[in-house]
Each structure stands twice: as structure tokens, then as C-alpha cells.
Chain A
Amino acid sequence: MIKDSPYYNKFFKEPWSYVTGAVILAILNVALFAASGSPWGVTSVFIYWGAWILQALGGHPETWAFFQGEAGKTLANGFLAHAGSFRNIGIIVGALLATLLASEFKIKKIKSGRQAIAAILGGLLMGYGARISFGCNIGALFSGIASMSLHGWIYLVFIFFGAWVGSKLLVKFFI
């Protein structure tokens, strides 16, 4: 029985150490940078997802200033031509794969109204914030600092303040 094998438990069941994760993620980011010419980022893909959905709903994001030029071409080429979308979906599927191989998948419903509000507010703040600061914890913090860019270090200082304030709000309103 595969579930009783100590190797199965070690590799699929027990969480890997944080340091193992750190080393693998760093190697993957460097490999991606070497292979594609730019480091790992996550959030810019979401712009296109939003724009394609908006188009499907009858909106015209292609007239916006942002989509003149290079971004407009990506938009016009559509979802299937967008390699970055496949990477982000890959993150979801990769996590699902790890969860299933550990036999730990469970749909977790939204428990309360306050959880829904937290998700909505948090999502909006992250989406908007990522646009004006060139990325998220991956694009701006991880890849930005590793690129030795000043903006990455500034990002670190202020996301820490943000996390601080967020923690206070969480404890006060969302628990």
C-alpha cells in the first residue's frame, strides 16, 4: 500500500522544510530568468485576464491608454497565445497536484460574511497596489530585490508597514 511507504510520507505527505522550498524557488526563478530573459512575476497576467473578461462582457479596455502599444498586442492576441497565463494556471494546477498526491484535497467553503469581505477588500487592494508598484511579493520583492533594483528594497520596507497595519485590522475586524 503506497500510503504506508515511508518514502511516500517523506516526499508527498510531510511538508518540506521552508529552507528546501527557498532553495528550489530560487533555482527555479534563476532558471526562468536565464531561459526567458525576465524573472518570475505573477500579477501582470491578471491585467489581461481582467481585460479579456471585460471584453467578453461587452467592455472596451482596448481603448484605454495602458493598452496602446505592446500591451494592446498581447490583449489582441488573446488568452491562448499568452504564455504567462499558462504559467499562472500552472501554479494553481501544480498546487492541486501536490495536494492530491498527498491525498489532502478538500473544498473549503467561505465561512462567514466577514471572510468574504476580507477576500474582496484584500483582493482589490492587492490588485490596485500591484499595478502602481510594479508587482507583488514575487515580481517586486523576490525578483526586484534579487535584480538589485532600488525599487525592490523600497517595496520591502513599505510592504512590511502594510502587513503591520493589515495585521492590526485583521485582529480587530476579521477574527
Chain B
Amino acid sequence: MSVSKTSKKKKKKVNQIPIGIALLILVIIIGYSIKDLGPKHPMSWMFGILFGYTLRSSRFCFTASLRDPVLTGGTSLTKAVIITIAIATIGFAGIQYGAFLRGEEIPGNINPAGIHIAIGAFMFGIGMVIAGGCASGTLMRVGEGFLMQVLALVFFVIGSLWGVKHIEFWESHFFSKGKALFLPDALGWFPALVLQFGLLFALYILADWFGNKSN
């Protein structure tokens, strides 16, 4: 590399690793001591820590995956999100198929489809781009020390409460008229899986092509 560096006075760095190790010990102690609050608590805590650690370490950002193709022409996070959805689908389908075989209700996030999804997703899309992070991204950046995202989180909470206040309106006009459609119920398991992976694969190819083209 031929980048020349006019070396400037380096500021004094503080070694934060000991603080990190102390925090790690604290995390373990908290995980152990909250078991009395409820049986699910230590597990929830552990998953939260792992999600946060992974999101930060890989700089994973769902917002960027949807925003960057438009704004900067980058699609590497778009492709990563498609990969994560595809891998999760395999595991989810296994869990759901097990429930199906036992004749149980199909588990998973299967909610009524309808115009409310379009409106809500559209609002969310605008919000996450201007606030610089979605829900998981906002939490992660709060942990990194961004006061802007602390403010966004406060108003995220207020917005949630506002939405809940109006929920009767949405429930009676939209949710109740929407249909919760599990693709394998509509198409059969095999065609649904083919469609699911076919769409994800097509999107991956599209993202890859777009990422190379916009160079």
C-alpha cells in the first residue's frame, strides 16, 4: 500500500479490556442470580448477550441491508441478510414440520397479512433510515455509546405505546380482515419450500448483480 501517513500525535489510549472482562464476569453473575426471577430469565439474558455481541462484532445491520442498495450501491449486507434468513428457514421448517407431524398448531411468527403490514413496514423503513438503525441496531448502538440512538430508543418506546393506544382501530379494520397465511398450508410443504428458497436465491442473485453493476 502506498498510502502515505503524516503521522499525527496519537492521543493516549485507555486500555478498556479489563473493564470488558469485569463486565463479562458481571454478566455471568447476573445470569446466575436472575434464575430466581423466572425459569426463562437466564436463557433470555444469555440469548440477548449473544445476539448483541454478534451484531456488534460483525457490524450486522438490517437497516443497511435495505438502505445501502439505494443509497450507496453496496449489497454485501443485503446478501448476508438473505443468507441468514435462508439458514434460519431450514431450522424453522424443521421445528414447524415436527409440530405439523404431531398435529399441533404450527409455531412461528405467522401473522395476518394485509394493508396494515404494508403501511407499518413503510413507516418502519423510513424511520430506521433516518434514525440510523432499526430495533436491534438501535439497541446495539446504545451499547456502543451513541446518544443519538438512546434518544431514538426513547421515542421508539413512545411510538410503540402510541401504536398500542390505537390498536383497536387497526384490529377491527385491518388485522381481523387479514389472513395469517402459512405458505405450506396454502401450497403444500414441498412447493412452499421450493418457492421460499427459489425467491431467496433469486434475490441473492439480484443483489449480487446489482452490487457488481453499480461499481
Contact = CB atoms under 8 A, between A and B. Distances in A.
B161 to A, nearest CB: 4
Interface in B74-123: 76-77, 79-81, 83-93, 95-96, 107-114, 116-123
Tell me what chain A mostly uses at the interface: helix, strand, loop, or mixed. Answer: helix
Contacts of A103: 13-17, 20
Contact of A86 (B34, B86, B134, B156): B34
A65 B41 contact: no
Interface residues of B, number: 131
A25 B85 CA distance: 9
Contact of B183 (A37, A122, A149): A149
A125 B123 CA distance: 5
Given A97-B49, A142-B85, A166 B109 contact: no
Nearest to A85: B44
Interface string A103-139: 1111111110001101111111111111111111111
B75 to A, nearest CB: 11
B17 A132 contact: no
Interface in A130-162: 130-162
Nearest to B51: A91
Nearest to A89: B48
A163 to B, nearest CB: 4
A42 B114 CA distance: 21
B183 A90 contact: no
B146 interface: yes
A128 B165 CA distance: 10
A26 B163 contact: no
Contact of B125 (A16, A40, A163): A163
A100 to B, nearest CB: 3
Residue with the greatest number of chain B CB neighbours at <10 A, chosen from A119, A126, A170: A126
A139 B111 CA distance: 10
B121 A26 contact: no
A110 B151 contact: yes
Interface string B58-77: 11101100110011000011
A91 B123 contact: no
Contacts of A158: 117-119, 121-122, 125
A16 B57 contact: yes
A127 B66 CA distance: 18
B156 A148 contact: no
A150 B113 contact: yes
Contacts of B182: 147-150
Contacts of A115: 148
Given A19-B80, A161-B125, A26 B143 contact: no
